Amino acid sequence: MRLYGDMLSPFVRMCFVTAHEVGLGDKVIHEKESVTPTAPNPRLVALSPIGKVPVLETDHGHAVYDSRVIMEYLCHVAGNKALIPDDGVKRFRVLTLQALGLGLGDAAVGLRYETAARPTALHWPEWSARLKARIAAACDELESKWESSLAEVNAGSIAVGVVLSYVGYRLPDLRWQDGRPRLAAFHAGFASRDSMLKTPIGT
């Protein structure tokens, strides 16, 4: 299998972390590809009309995207039912946590693009403020309501752990850890897992 993208993307990284967590780390080849907000990447467009990372090319030559689908596909290939449980109550709790992590990632990447990629003259302060509010609200929700689910290694905690690392790396001025001791403790522990150490940001 080949996974296309750059580890600077939290969506790419969470797929690689998943691969390591389910025992497929050595079965997934990293094809480093980057994207910009305005110019299509021909290699990615050939695999997916959306042209975004990540894209997984299976051993059968099929393209799988986006990150949540790739994560589930890797669990399926590995026969792993722990990261995305079959049990209905647990399954949808995990998938909701994953959606929260992905939403946090969308807001963080959007803010990074707005502040670092968009020309200064075109900056939209109200949009930046809204993205910051979404990031803060997501972190507050994770701090107050998700401690037990984050204590388990699942698709949701992987998404959250990876995205929090991205926020700290790309948007350090947000200081997301401030006032959120439980979330900070979760992240410190998760960041020390082998799957995270083997997939450092930017590799």
Give CA–CA dist 148/86, Å, rounded.
18
Q: What are phi and psi of 31, to 5 degrees?
A: -105, 100
Give CA–CA dist 200/128, Å, rounded.
27
CB 3 within 8 A of CB 54: yes
pTM of the entire predicted model: 0.97
Identical fold, 2-78 and 88-193: no
DSSP state of 29: E
How is the chain split into domains, by residue range? 2-78, 88-193
Tens digits of per-residue pLDDT, 75-103? 999 999 999 999 999 999 999 999 999 99
Mean pLDDT of the chain: 97
The CATH number assigned to the domain with range 88-193 reads: 1.20.1050.10
Tens digits of per-residue pLDDT, 148-188? 999 999 999 999 999 999 999 999 999 999 999 999 999 99
The CATH number assigned to the domain with range 2-78 reads: 3.40.30.10
- 3-class DSSP state of 4: strand
CA–chain centroid gap for 47, Å, is: 20
Tens digits of per-residue pLDDT, 123-142? 999 999 999 999 999 999 99
